[in-house]
Structure 1
Amino acid sequence: MFDEEELAEIREAKESWEAETRGPTVDRFGERKETFTTDTGGREVDPIYTPDDVADLDYDEDLGFPGEEPFTRGVYSTMYRGRLWTMRQYAGMGTAEETNERFRYLIEEGSSGLSMAFDLPTQMGYDSDDAMAEGEVGKSGVAIDSLDDFETVFDGISLDEVSTSMTINAPASILLAMYIAVGDKQGVDREALRGTIQNDVLKEYIARNTYIYPPEPSMRLITDIFEFCAEEVPNFNTISISGYHIREAGSTAAQEIAFTLADGIEYVERAIEAGQDVDDFAPQLSFFFASYNNILEEVAKFRAARRMWATIMEERFDAETPASKQLKFHTQTAGSTLTAQQIENNVVRVGYQALAAVLGGTQSLHTNGKDEALSLPTEKSVRTALRTQQILAHESGAADTMDPLAGSYYVESLTDDIEAEAFSIIDEVDERGGMQDAVESGWVQGQIQDVAFERQREIEAGERTIVGVNDYRVEEEPEADIEEVSEAEQERQRERLAALREERDDAAVEAALDDLRDACESGENVMPYIVAAVKAYATTGEVADAMRDVFGEHRAGI
C-alpha cells in the first residue's frame, strides 16, 4: 500500500522522533509501565504504529470491501446502515411461565431477538424429577421437561415473528425438535423459522462439561441436524460454534478464535464425510465469541476471524458460494469480567465490551446484566443492559459507517498478528490429528488452563488491575436485589411434569422412543424421530435416555 521510498522516510523520521522527542521525555518522566501488552497473550504494544507496521498489507487481498471476500470489513455490504445487529438478550427464568413473561417484556422494550437460557438438568438431558436434578431445577435458566413447557414459553409469541437463539448443546436435537413442533402447532411454515442452536459439543469437552454422549455419536447428532435442517428448516442456523466458553475458561484472544475455527473445521469435515455438500450446509453455520475489555484487541480478533474463515473454507473445503465463506457471529459481553464488588462498574465494562463487538462487526449481541456475578439478572438490570445496546445503536455514531477502525496502523498490525498466531495454533491442532483428537488428549484444555493460571497469578500479585477488586476498593455491602428460584417453584415444575405423564398417551410415547432407538442403531437420521417423540410429549429425559441406551454416556478420563 505504501511506496518503499516513503516507508524509508517514515522509518527515518520515527528514529528521529524516538531520539529527539520521545526519548528525552521518557528519560525525564518515565512511563506508567515498563512494558505495555494486550489484554491476553502478552503481545507487546509499541508506543506508536506507522505505515511501516503494515507495509505488507494488500488492500484487495487482506481487506477488500464489506460483503466481499475476504470479509475482513464485514459480511454484509450495508452492515448496520442497512440493518442494526440483532439485540438478543439472554433469558431463562426458572419456569416456563416466568420465561414467557420475561420474553414478552424484552419484546416490549425493543429486543429484536430472543435467547433462551436453560437450567442445568435440561442441559444434561435430565427431567426435573430426576435425582440428578435435585436442587438445580430452574436455577441457571428455564426448566424444559416437555413440549408442554415449550408451548408455554412461546404462548402469545408467534415463531414467524421472532428469531430465537437456544444455548443448548448435548440435547440440542431435542430442543430444536420442540421448537419445530411449536412452530408446526402454530401453523408456521418451517422455512419461516429463524434462530440458532448452539449445538457445539466439542467445546463442552474443552470448557463447560455439560456433555451427555461420547464424542463420536455426539458428532453424528450434529451432522444429522445439519442434513435435516438444510432440507426442512433452511433459515435456522444449525450450530453456533462457540469461542465464548473457551475464552471464559481463560484462553487468549488468539486461542479463542483458533480453537473455535478448529472446531468448525472438524464439524465441516464430519459433514462432508457423511456425504453432505459443503455449500448446502455451510451457509447455516454461525459462530459465537466473547467480547472483553481491551477494545482494540477485540476488534482485531473479530476482523482476523472473518478473514481466516474465508481462507479456510476456500482453501480447505473448496467452498464456492460466498455465503459458505462468511463468518457470521453472535457476541456476548464477558461474564467472567463482572465483579460482585462495586457492581455498578459492570455497566461500564459491558458498555465498552459492547462497543468493541459493534466496531468489530457482530451480527447479534447480548449485553450482560450488571448483577450476573451474583445471580440471574433482575428485570431492571436487564433493561439497563438492553438500553446499553440501544444507546450504542442510536446515539454513539458507531453504527453509521462500516469497519470504522480499518486503516488504523495499530488495528491492522494487531489483526495480522492475531491471525498469524491463530493459524499457528490451528497448524498444531492439525499435527495432533485434528480438534477431536486434540481435545480427547487434553492438549487443548491444558493450553487454556496454563493461560488462566497465569492471568489469576497476575491479578493476585497486583500486576493486572481489576478496578474494585484488587485496586480502587471500597467497603460496601453486595447488591441485595437478586433473582432466586424457590423450592416451591421447583416443586411446581415437578408437579407439572407429573400431570403431563398422567394425561399423555404412554403407548404413543413408547412407540416413538422405540423408533428413535432403531434410528440411532441403524444410522438413519434421527431428527424426524425426535420430532415425532416430542410431539407425543415424550420428555427431555426420556428422549435423551433413548439415545443413551444406544450411544452410552461420556465419562471424562475413562
Structure 2
Amino acid sequence: MSDPVAATNLGEDSGSTGPANEGKRSWTERLVSPALGRHPERRQSFTSTSGVDIDRLYTPEDAAGQDYARDLGYPGEFPFTRGIQPTMYRGRFWTMRQYAGFGTAEETNTRFKLLLEAGQTGLSTAFDLPTQMGFDSDHSMAMGEVGRVGVAIDSVDDMRTLLDGIPLDRVSTSMTINATASILLAFYIAVADERGIDRKSLSGTIQNDILKEYIARGTYVFPVEPSLRMITDIFAFCHAEVPRWNTISISGYHIREAGATAAQEIAFTFANAMEYVARALDAGLPIDKFAPRLSFFFASHNDLFEEVAKFRAARRLYARLMRERFGAGDEAAKLRFHTQTGGVTLQAQQPLNNVVRVTVQAMAAALGGTQSLHTNGYDEALSLPTAAAATLALRTQQVLAYESGIGDTVDPLAGSYYVESLTDALEEKARGYLDRIEEIGGAAEAIAYMQEEIHRAAYEFQIAVENGDKTIVGVNKFKGQEEKLDLGQPDFSALEQSQRTKLAGIKAGRDDAEVRARLEAVRAAARGTENLMPRIVDAAKAMVTLGEISDALRAEWGVYRPV
C-alpha cells in the first residue's frame, strides 16, 4: 500500500538493548525457535489493517519511549488518550443510539418508539437517497428510491409525523444528513417552535460533513465553497439559537466504509476537521466557542486491538492538533465521538455470524471510550434491519454495558505493551497522511489524493480476501448451509405512491405567494453573505419543500461535478 509513513517496526529486531529485549532474545532462542520447528506460525508476517507490523510478543521496551503525563495523562485531562471524562462509564454508560429510518415517517416513528421502549437512550435517523440529494419524492430522480434506504422527508409535515410523541426537550436526536443538513435541521426547529419548545433545550446532531461526501460517499449536491459556507452558517446560527446542538459530526465512518484503513480513517477525518475549523475561524467564530460542539463519527471493525488503539490515538492526536494549530483550550480539544459498528463488515452469507462481528466491534468501541454507539442489525447486508434484528443489536449493547464489567474501570487496556505500541504507531501513521494533505493545500484541495489512497486500500483488502490471505468466516472459509431469514420488507411501490399523493396535497393546500416569497429570500441570502439558516427556517414554516429549497440553492450555486 502506498503510504507516506513506512510501516512502524515493532518487531524484535528494533535494535533496543534494554533488559526486557535481552530476555526476549533469550526466550526466542530457548523456546520460540524449537517451537517454530515443530509448529510454524500461521503466516510469515502479521500486520494490522493499517500496515503496522505486529510482533510476536510485546515487552516494556516497546512502550519505553512513552512519557505518562505527556502521552497518556489522566482521564478528563489533556491529551485525553484515556478518555474525555474523568470517570467515563462509572458515571453513566455511553448513549445507546440505534440508527432507524424506514420507508415513511409513520413507520419510522413507530420504530423510534419501539426502540425507546426497549431502552434506547437517543434517536438516530437515516434518510432515503432523494432526501439526501435534495429531491422531493415526486421528482423524476426519486423514482424507485423513495423510502428504500431510510425515511422520506419532503416537508415539515413529514418531520411532524416523524417526531410525533417524541419529547424533543428530553431525547437527543441525531440525523445522518449532509448536503441538505440545513433543511432537515430547519424542519426540526420548526416542529419544536410549533410545540412551544425552547430552542435552547434541543439537543442532537446533524452530520453536516460535506467533505467526506466528495471523498468517499457521494451524496453531495452543491460545489465545495458554497457547501463550506453553509456549514459555517449553521455553526453561527446554532451557537446563537440552538446552543446544545452538535452542528457537525465529522465522519470517519463513511471513509472507512469506502475501504480506508484505521490510520487513514483517523487522518482523513481530521484533515476534514482542520478544514472546517479554519473556515469557522475565517468566518469570525472563536475557537473555544464553537469547537466544543464539534463531534465525530467513527467506525468500529473486527480487529479488536487495532480499533481500541485507533480510538485512543485519535483522541490524543486531535487534542494535539487543536492545540498546535489553533491554540484551542482543553474543552475545544476534546474528541467527542459516536461509533457505529462496521456496515461493510457485515456479510450476506451466514448472516447470523454478524451478531458475533457486531459484538466484537461494540466491545472495541466501549474499550476505546466512545460517547455513543450504534450496533448494526445482523440482517443489514440483505435489507433494512427488521425490528427483531434492531432489538437484538440494542440488547448486545445492553449486555456489554450491564453484564460484562466493561465499564467498571476507565480505559482498562491502558498499559498493555501491545495496545500502547499500537496506539503510538497509528498516531504516527495518521500524522504522515496529514502532513501530505497539508503539502497539497488542505482537505478541500486534497480530495483526489484521499480518494486514491482509499481506493488502493480497498483494492488490496479485497485481493487479500480473494486469495485467502484474509479470512472472512462463511465467505471464503468455513462455508456451510445458508440461513433463510424473513426480511419482511415493505411494498416500496405503494409506499412511493403514498408519499407522492401526500406531497401533492401539501402543495395544493399552501399559500403559493408566500412560498415564492420565502424561496426568493433564500436565493437572495445565497447570493449574498447573510446567514442562510433563518431564511430556510422561515421557508420550512411556510411548507416549502426540501426539493424546492434545494432547487433555489442549485439555481444560485450550481452543482458539484467530480473532476
Query: Where on the TM-score scale, by shorter chain, does this alignment land: which range?
Result: over 0.9
Paired with 1:545 and 1:289, the residues of 2 have a C-alpha distance of: 32
State the partner residue of 1:386. 394
- Are 2:530 and 1:524 equivalent residues in the alignment? yes
Q: Which residue is equivalent to 1:61?
A: 70
What does residue 310 of structure 2 align with?
A: 301
Match of 2:35 in 1: 25
- Counterpart for residue 19 of structure 2: 9
Note the alpha carbon deviations across 1:403-435, whole angstroms, 9 max, x for none.
Answer: 000000000000000000000100000000001
Q: How does 1:464-543 map to 2 (within 5 A)?
A: 464-476=470-482, 478-543=484-549
Query: What residue is the counterpart of 1:3 in the other structure?
Result: none
Structure-to-structure mapping, 1:162-241, within 5 angstroms: 162-241=171-250
Match of 1:445 in 2: 451
- Provide the rounded CA distance (Å) in 2 between the counterparts of 1:11 and 1:418: 23
Contact 1:359/1:404 (<8 A) preserved: yes
Deviation, structure 1 residue 31: 1.5
Closer, same or farther: CA 207–485 of 1 in aligned 2, 3 Å: farther
Q: 1:398 aligns with which of 406, 409, 416?
A: 406
- The secondary structure found in structure 2 opposite 1:20 is helix
> How many Å apart are 1:41 and its aligned residue?
2.4
Q: What is residue 366 of structure 1 aligned with on the other side? A: 374
1:95 aligns with 2:104: yes
- Distance in 1 between residues matched to 2:264 and 2:183, nearest whole Å: 31
SS at match of 2:326: coil
C-alpha distance in structure 1 between counterparts of 2:491 and 2:561, whole Å:
30
Per-residue CA distance 1:331-352 (angstroms, 9 max, x = gap): 0000011011111100000000
Structure 2 CA distance for partners of 1:308 and 1:212, relative to 1, 3 Å: same
Q: Deviations over 1:171-203 (max 9, x none)?
A: 000001111111111111111111100000000
Aligned length: 548
CA distance in 2, matches of 1:269, 1:406: 33
**Residue type of the alignment partner of 1:331:** T
What is the distance in 1 between the residues matched to 2:278 and 2:488?
45
Kindly indicate whether the alpha-carbon contact (under 8 Å) linking 1:158 and 1:186 is maintained by their aligned counterparts in 2. no
Conserved 8 A contact 1:376-1:484? no
Alignment of 1:274-289 (within 5 A): 274-289=283-298
Secondary structure of 2:99 counterpart = strand
The TM-score with structure 1 as length reference comes to 0.97
Contact 1:377-1:483 at 8 Å conserved across structures = no
Structure 2 counterpart of 1:350, one-letter code: V
Residue 272 of structure 1: CA displacement?
0.6
Local SS of the residue matching 2:279: helix
Map Cα deviations across residues 97-124 of structure 1 (whole Å, 9 max, x no partner). 0011000111100000000000000000
1:230–1:281: 8 Å Cα contact kept in structure 2?
yes
CA distance in 1, matches of 2:348, 2:437: 37
Look up the equivalent residue of 1:302 and give its one-letter code.
Answer: F
Q: Partner amino acid for 2:475?
A: V
Deviation at 1:482, TM superposition (A): 3.9
Amino acid aligned to 1:267 = Y
TM-score by length of 2: 0.96
| 8 Å CA contact retained: 2:97, 2:372 | yes
Tell me the amino acid that sits aligned with residue 397 of structure 1.
Answer: G
CA RMSD between the two structures? 1.1
Tell me what 2:429 maps to.
Answer: 421
The alpha carbon displacement at 1:7 in A equals 7.5
2 CA distance for matches of 1:468 and 1:385?
Answer: 20
Q: Equivalent residue for 1:411? A: 419
The one-letter code sitting in structure 2 at the alignment partner of 1:348 is V
Post-superposition shift, 1:502? 1.2
Structure 2: how far apart are the matches of 1:211 and 1:549? 15
**Structure 1, 244-253 or 503-512: larger mean CA deviation:** 503-512
> Which amino acid in the other structure matches residue 299 of structure 2?
A
Q: 2:251 aligns with which of 242, 249, 258?
A: 242
Is the contact between residue 351 and residue 483 of structure 2 (CA under 8 Å) also seen in structure 1?
no
Q: How does 1:250-399 map to 2 (within 5 A)?
A: 250-320=259-329, 322-399=330-407
Once the two structures are TM-superposed, the CA of residue 485 in structure 1 deviates from its matched residue by: 4.2
Structure 2 residue 550 is the aligned partner of structure 1 residue 544: yes
- Which residue matches 2:11? none
Query: Quick check: 1:138–1:485 contact (8 Å CA) kept in 2?
Result: no
SS in 1 for 2:124: strand
Q: CA offsets, 1:29-64, max 9 Å, x none? A: 2112221221x1232210100110011100001001
The answer on whether the counterparts of 2:147 and 2:492 sit within 8 Å (CA) in structure 1 is no
Cross-structure match for 1:433: 441
1:483-533 deviation digits (Å, cap 9, x = unpaired): 234211110000010011111112111111111111111111100000000
Structure-1 residue corresponding to 2:9: none
By how many angstroms is 1:389 displaced? Answer: 0.3
Aligned residue among 76, 95, 99 for 1:86: 95
Q: Following TM superposition, by how much is the alpha carbon of 1:319 offset from its aligned partner in structure 2, in angstroms?
A: 1.1
**Match of 2:50, SS?**
coil
- Distance in 1, matches of 2:345 and 2:434, equals 27
Determine the C-alpha separation between the residues in 2 that align with 1:299 and 1:476. 32
| Structure 2 counterpart SS, 1:479 | coil
What residue identity is the alignment partner of 2:398?
Answer: Q
SS at match of 2:47: coil
Q: Aligned equivalents of 1:520 and 1:279: distance in 2?
A: 28
Q: Structure 2 counterpart of 1:177, which letter?
A: A
Q: 1:9, CA displacement in angstroms?
A: 2.0
- Match of residue 50 from structure 1: 59
Aligned position for 1:70: 79
| Contact 2:146-2:492 at 8 Å conserved across structures | no
Whether the 8 Å CA contact 2:383–2:487 is kept in 1: the answer is no
Percent of aligned positions that are identical: 60
Task: Provide the C-alpha distance between the structure 2 equivalents of 1:158 and 1:488, rounded to a whole number of angstroms.
Answer: 30
Contact preservation (8 Å) 1:375, 1:484 = no
C-alpha contact 2:300 2:341 (8 A) present in aligned 1 = yes
2:214 partner amino acid: Y
Give distance in 2, aligned partners of 1:315 and 1:482: 52
Instruction: Please list every run of 5 or more consecutive structure 1 residues that lacks an aligned counterpart in the other structure.
Output: 1-5
| 1:376-425, Cα deviation, whole Å (9 max, x unpaired) | 00000000000000000000100111100000000000000000000010
Shift of 1:78: 1.5
